[in-house]
Structure 1
Amino acid sequence: MDSLKSTPTIFFLFAFVTLNFAIVSKAATFEVRNNCQQPVWAASSAPGKPASGRRLGQGETWTVTADPGTTQGRIWGRTNCNFDGSGRGSCETGDCNGALECTSYGQAPNTLAEYTIGGFANQDFIDISVIDGFNLPMEFSSNSPQCSRVIRCVGNIIGECPAQLRMNNACNGPCPVLKTEEHCCNSGNCQPTDLSRFFKQRCPDAYSYPKDDPTSLFTCPTGTNYKVIFCP
């Protein structure tokens, strides 16, 4: 009798675990949209993932997927690109070794949407970073009922860029330009600088220096889907 009574309990426990595993294991999708007046060559890169990149005209979208366990994922936009029929060429900003489909991170300066899917406590971790500079306004938001997170970086960074960071159609980051411990924080022990404050004042949601976690790193439950918008 005891074994018969326990059967429904075991069955429902198994069903709960299976359902929970299915929810936790669901891949995240990122709808990448270009709202800029000019074309943007969108790119996506994460360790161990296939090459990925796409030209987006105004209003066009592209879907990127990321499996649970994906870490150090990035989505960014490249500007003023020229590629030949084999997918080789170059971009003024965000270039990834001259390839249309990126297998590496983009060259600074570029505004970054960064993510980890299925991290600690079944949470996704998302952020916008301007540590590597700024080339396009960006919005990074969730696209699911269980999370309504919206983070943006739309300040006039290019127009007001400090002279030592200024580039054509972009504003570079202090670390890529100056390469000092104060700005790159390779030791993991650093504080805001006048240059990082310039970015933070114009994009309060974004990472402005490597230890900017408290005001720049956001979470959603694993299973959430997202949108990344250039020129929101």
Structure 2
Amino acid sequence: MGNRAAPFLSLLCLQALVLTSGVLSATFTFSNNCKHTLWPGLLSSAGSSPLSTTGFSLDRGESRSVSAPHGWSGRFWGRTHCSTDPATGSFTCATGDCGSGAVECSGSGATPPATLAEFTLDGSDGLDFFDVSLVDGHNLPLLVAPKAGGGGGNSSCRATGCAVDLNGVCP
């Protein structure tokens, strides 16, 4: 089985490049294109192996890669306006908070509002699936666009997302 197409995730502020390297894993590379620090949250679906991290900080212009195993599914989102309470040590975010009290989400999902990028690698018929969801509200512009892997990946997939800042037009 050759390499599959891999989606490119752009939160316009937060960006994640997904490169599929063979059928055993994929690499998600997150880049912060915002003017401020962001904290990506990562959640594996039930039955999927956990990733090496479930949350981290990205300063403006910074990038970080995370590998996902074959068959992984889950979601990513950007958290904004995060801080640690000096009295309690509890970490919280104004949007996308996962409620763990720490930078790592440790199996907790996003508290709305949070724009979600959802992925299933090697799903039905060995295909990768991705979508952008506003089911939990909107906190950052987000776009997922495929980027073919190195071994005959399918380049016919189209970009999907919400690439505008809806916060500026909401009442």
In proportion to residue count, which structure has more strand? Answer: 2
Distance 1:87 1:26, change over 3 A: farther
Query: Within 5 A, what are the aligned runs for 1:114-125?
Result: 114-125=118-129
Aligned-residue sequence identity (percent) comes to 37
Distance in 1 separating the partners of 2:43 and 2:89: 16
Which of structures 1 and 2 has the bigger CA Rg? 1
Distance in 1 separating the partners of 2:90 and 2:65: 22
Unaligned runs of 5+ in 2: 4-20
1:49 aligns with 2:50: yes
TM-score normalized with structure 2 length: 0.72
Which residue among 30, 34, 37 is the counterpart of 2:35?
A: 37
Q: Does the 8 Å contact 1:54/1:62 carry over to 2?
A: no
Partner of 1:91: 93
TM-score normalized with structure 1 length: 0.55
* TM-fit CA distance, 1:69: 1.9
* TM-fit CA distance, 1:21: 8.1
Q: Does the 8 Å contact 1:24/1:122 carry over to 2?
A: no
Aligned length: 142
- Cα RMSD (Å) of the superposition? 2.6
Distance 1:54 1:120, change over 3 A: same
In proportion to residue count, which structure has more helix? Answer: 1
Distance in 1 separating the partners of 2:28 and 2:164: 23
* TM-fit CA distance, 1:24: 6.2
Distance in 1 separating the partners of 2:164 and 2:2: 41
Q: Does the 8 Å contact 1:87/1:101 carry over to 2?
A: no
Q: Which has the higher contact order (CA 8 A, sep 6+)?
A: 2
Q: Please give the per-residue CA displacement for 1:172-203, whole angstroms capped at 9, x wherever unaligned.
A: xxxxxxxxxxxxxxxxxxxxxxxxxxxxxxxx
Unaligned runs of 5+ in 1: 1-19, 164-232
Distance in 2 separating the partners of 1:35 and 1:159: 18
